[in-house]
Amino acid sequence: MRKSTLLLPALVIVAITVLSSVFIVDEREKALVLQFGRVVSVKEEPGLAFKIPLIQEVVRYDDRILSRDIDPLEITPSDDRRLVVDAFARYRITDVNRFRQAVGAGGIATAENRLDSILRAQTREILGSVSSNDILSSDRAALMLRIRNGAIADARALGITIIDVRLKRTDLPTENLDATFERMRAERVREATDERARGNEAAQRIRAQADRTVVELVSEAQREAEIIRGEADAERNGIFATAYGADPEFFEFYRSLNAYATSLQAGNSTMVLSPNNEFFNYLKSSDGKPAAAAQQ
């Protein structure tokens, strides 16, 4: 009875000791075995591992690719046009021993603070050496690669490998937006004014050419009309001359009738002439001849 009473606590102590000396390393992490704060073993392979109970302790670190957002950073490119840059980085803890030595008990929080400083410094240096147009153009991919390459060496001292750096957003500072918009608006107004001026110049050129064409066409038409009218008048006069030559007496009679029809119309038949005027020769004739011929 006495032996069994002593055996049970001993078994419990042994079980506790065994359990406390065994730990599991997950495939998503790496582990350090510390003894009085000093690294005595690095466990990178997943599975069971052992440590000395009470004397040694286990510190675990994430072995996956981690992401870190950098607080918005205001930079001044080479053209003095300030920009606010929002970036993030992907990194991985590749040397847990060096990582522990660099950050101590602060762990991931301390490491990320130092990583922020490295990335901010590299971002200022790289983006400050180029113009804002380069940052906003397709060249930004090369700039992100330069930032990553520049930060790799400093991050390696922390036991960290930087995998990628990306610029999420690049904006103007809030206080500069209104001035920038006004400048853009003024540029667009100037371009529109230039376009209108060029359009008006072209319109005036076309209008002047059209006016000149109209004048030339009208002048040519009038010239041709005058030629045709002159030819027609000549032809008419020729016909009249031929007809007059064929029967002068009948032609004289015909002209007198036309003169009577034109002059002696309703409302226009009052005439003040001498009764002996030649105009009335055919009116005073009894046989259709002029009065002078009848008297003969």
3-state secondary structure (DSSP) of residue 51: coil
Query: What single letter denotes the amino acid at residue 136?
Result: L
| pLDDT of 209 | 92
Note the pLDDT of residue 43: 82
**pLDDT for the residue numbered 4:** 59
pTM: 0.54
Separation of alpha carbons 290 and 231, rounded Å: 35
Kindly list the domain boundaries of the chain, sorted by start residue. Answer: 3-61, 65-172, 174-227
Q: What is the pLDDT of residue 292?
A: 47
Looking at the DSSP assignment, which residues form a beta bridge with residue 31? 43, 60
What class has domain 65-172?
A: alpha beta
DSSP state of 265: B
pLDDT at position 293 is: 44
In the structure encoding, which two tokens stand for residue 146, read together?
């330069």
150 Cβ neighbours under 8 A, 6+ residues apart: 122, 125, 126
pLDDT per residue as tens, the chain (296 positions): 555 566 666 666 655 665 567 777 788 888 888 888 777 777 878 777 777 777 878 888 888 899 898 888 888 888 777 888 888 899 998 888 888 888 888 888 888 899 999 999 998 888 888 888 888 777 788 888 999 998 998 898 888 999 999 988 877 776 666 777 778 888 899 999 999 999 999 999 999 999 999 999 999 999 999 999 999 988 888 887 787 777 777 777 777 777 767 766 666 556 666 666 666 666 665 554 554 444 44
User: Tokens at residue 181, please?
Assistant: 């918009």
Looking at residue 281, what is its pLDDT? 67
- Residue 74 CA to residue 58 CA, distance in Å, equals 41
Confidence at residue 47, expressed as pLDDT on a 0 to 100 scale = 73
| CA pair distance 283, 293, nearest whole angstrom | 13
Alpha helices, DSSP H, located in the chain = 2-21, 96-103, 107-127, 132-136, 140-156, 174-246, 248-263, 281-284, 291-295
